[in-house]
Structure formats: C-alpha cells, structure tokens
Structure 1
Amino acid sequence: MIGYIRVSDSQKADGESQREAIKAYAAKRGIQISDWIEEHVSATKTELRERKLSSLITSRQSIIVSDITRLGRQKVMELVGAIGQIASYGELHLAYSDTIINSENVDNAEIIFTVIGQSFASAVEAQKRSERAKAGHAKRKAKGLSSGRQKGQKVKSKLDEHTAFILNMLDSDKSKAEVLRKLSDKGVQVSRSRFYSWLEDRGLHNKKAEFQADMFTE
C-alpha cells in the first residue's frame, strides 16, 4: 500500500498533516504502508500524466490519500478515470472520510458522486478565495492604496487545507464540536471561536445549500 501526498504550494505543514492523517487511518485499519510518494504540484495547472500519481497508477498499487482532492479538484472526468483505474486493480483509500473504493463499489453512484462532490466543493471554495483576493487587490489599486493586507482582510488559515474534510463532516450532519474533535485527532488544533469565525469568513456556515446551488449553475 502506497501513501500518496500532494501539496499544491510550498506549505510543508499541509504535507505533514496529510501524512499524519494517512498514518492514523492505516494504523486504525491495520494497513502496512510500504512506501510514500509526495509531490508539490497544482492539480489545476498540470495534467495527470505529468504527475507522479500517473506512474503510481501505472504500477498498479493500492493507494491511500488523505482525501479525494489530492488526486484532483476540477477536472472531473480525469478524476473519475483515475478512480476507475485504481479500483480496476486494487483499492483507493480516503483517510478523512474513512472510505474504500474498489471494484465492488466503484460503480456505486452515491459513493462516487459524494467523493466527486468533495473535490468540487473544495475547488469552488479555492476559486472564491482567489476571486475575493483579486477583487480586493484591484479595489485597493484603484484607490491608490497599498496592496498589502488591510484591516479585516481574510488571511490564509491552516483550516483552508482541510476544507474538503470539514465539508464532508458537516454534510454528514456531524456537529461542529465533533468536527473540532476530529481535527484535533489529526493534529489540527484550533479554538471553537476561531473555527466558527473561519466558517463565517469562508461562507461555509450555510455551505451545503450554497454548494448545491453552485453545482447547478456551473
């Protein structure tokens, strides 16, 4: 079993959080991880064939990832194809959602749409953050102000890298207190007030309805 980690930027902490989540999952299920593959690339700016993941799939080995967004976020058919390839010869384990996809359930629409939904939701939130940042920059530039961070401007949070996991938990009707406990188990320490502020700032306090609306307006 191979542990696969993908970090889209230079934030090494995200790679470590993925690794710890995979280790905890493997220990829980009694799985032996024979090797680790880690790469620092953006899934939205590269093709699957350009990443180490492609060679890993070709080697026909079962894979554990922290969540489905590590395989991809926006290229839906590419993501579905990767899932199908892995399931055709072995297993794809998703640590955060405690899900196994293999030949027995890869054609289960509910399972596949759920994991694809996680990827889509994460991509939507990332795009919105980018658009807000660009709009803020343009507004400040138009006023002749510094492009540095202004008072009240949203800053990157360590929770951003766990958006898919948090969305999945909340969509499963888990309480915010349960989500905080699960994050703590994964080594992500954050206060209740900071977590609630993060949900509010990212517009995720009512994210399920927003996510469903986005899906049908794309």
Structure 2
Amino acid sequence: MNYGYIRVSSDKQTVENQRFEIENFAQSNSINIDGWIEETISGTKNYDKRKLGALLKKVKKDDLIICAELSRLGRNLFMIMEILNLCMTKECKVWTIKDGYRLGEDIQSKVLAFGLSAEIERNLISQRTKEALARKKSEGVILGRPKGSKSAKVKLTGHEEVIRTLLEKNVSKCEIARIFGVNRMTVASFIVNNGLQ
C-alpha cells in the first residue's frame, strides 16, 4: 500500500499544496496512492496521538509513506528519528519530496537516517521559524524594521577616525569607498551623518 501523508499545523494553512506535490511526485514515478492521511495538528503533538500514529500501527512490509518533507512527520529531531526507526523496523519505506530522502529497510537507509540528524535539525529550525513568522503575519504583526528607519550600524561604523584622517589627507570619497569596499554614496552619507568634514 502507498500512502500520502499531509500535515498542516493550523487551519490557516492549506493541505492543497502538499497534496499537489505528492500527486505530481506519484504520477511522475508511476506510483498509485492507495490512501491519504490529512491532519491539521501541531507537529509537537506526539505521533501516537495523531492520525499518523494509526497509520504507523497498520503499515506493513514494503508499504510506502510519501510526504512533502520530513518536518511534516514531527517538529523535533527525536520524534522524527523515532518514527523513521519504527518504519524501518516494520520494513516500511518513507519517501520525502522536497528533502529527496528515500528511506527503506536496507542498511544504507539506516546509516543515512542517523547521519541526517544535523541536516534534519537545521531544516526543522528553518521550518519552525517560517511557521512562526507566518503566524505573526496572519495576526497582523508587521515584520522587519519599521518602514523608513535606518540601521544604526553600517559597514563603516568604527572607522570614523581612519576616514577623518583620509579626508584630511585629501583622499577622495571614491578612493575611501574603494578602500572599504562600499559605494561612494555610502561614504558621503556616513561623512555627513557623523560630522566628519
């Protein structure tokens, strides 16, 4: 049996993107999806309290679970590794589309699964950050620096005395820009903003 597993963490997210990815992947690899598991639940909730837990209980040898990416299985490394270990023990395969993982029951898959730890953790951190930013945005929080505000620190910060000395020696703004690897306009505005001339 081949299963498509889809999880979103909030009602505001849509399952359609993941379903589309899985359907396209299955079609291009001549795989027939026999069953779909869709759930709207946080990945922090233990897998046995989710529909995923029921799926993992019923999978058998040579069954295949396809998901968009490993982060759909869980939100932390240990949970994902536990799920993958369970699948390997039952000789069920897990394939992901975005990550490109093909984990089966063979020894290479076991080595790959445990060697992927650092990469999976990086991907999970990135996924959590994106989801948190999307949630903040949907709550109306304006992200980033306020419009029109400027960063207090620029590449030239800390080099005021060197720039002042160069100006006193009649070194042009273009030449100073070349020395520091910045645009001439950056040098000009830095000189004005810091009263260096």
5+ residue gaps, structure 2: 147-197
The offset of 1:112, in angstroms, is 4.1
Using CA pairs below 8 Å that are at least 6 residues apart, which structure has the higher relative contact order?
A: 1
Q: Give the % identical residues.
A: 23
Question: Who is 1:100 aligned against?
Answer: 102
Against the structure 1 CA distance between its residues 5 and 129, is the aligned structure 2 distance closer, same or farther, given a 3 Å change threshold? closer
- Is the CA contact (8 Å cut-off) linking 1:68 and 1:118 kept in structure 2? no
The equivalences for 1:1-218 within 5 A come to 1-13=2-14, 15-44=15-44, 46-60=45-59, 61-74=63-76, 76-88=77-89, 89-104=91-106, 105-109=108-112, 111-114=113-116, 116-125=117-126, 128=129, 149-150=141-142, 152=144
Against the structure 1 CA distance between its residues 112 and 22, is the aligned structure 2 distance closer, same or farther, given a 3 Å change threshold? farther
The offset of 1:121, in angstroms, is 2.3
> How far apart are the structure 2 equivalents of 1:92 and 1:9?
24
> How far apart are the structure 1 equivalents of 2:4 and 2:132?
33
> How far apart are the structure 2 equivalents of 1:93 and 1:122?
16
Against the structure 1 CA distance between its residues 127 and 40, is the aligned structure 2 distance closer, same or farther, given a 3 Å change threshold? closer
5+ residue gaps, structure 1: 137-146, 155-218
Secondary structure at the aligned position of 1:42 is classed as coil
Against the structure 1 CA distance between its residues 4 and 130, is the aligned structure 2 distance closer, same or farther, given a 3 Å change threshold? closer
Against the structure 1 CA distance between its residues 28 and 49, is the aligned structure 2 distance closer, same or farther, given a 3 Å change threshold? same
The residue identity in structure 1 corresponding to 2:10 is D
Q: TM-score, normalised by structure 2?
A: 0.59
The offset of 1:26, in angstroms, is 0.7
What per-residue deviation string (whole Å, max 9, x for no partner) do you get for residues 128-180 of structure 1? 568889xx9xxxxxxxxxx95348569xxxxxxxxxxxxxxxxxxxxxxxxxx
Q: In terms of Rg, which structure is larger? A: 2
Larger relative helix fraction: 1
- The number of aligned residues is 138
Which segment is superposed worse, 79-88 or 122-131?
A: 122-131
> How far apart are the structure 2 equivalents of 1:42 and 1:33?
24
Q: TM-score, normalised by structure 1?
A: 0.54
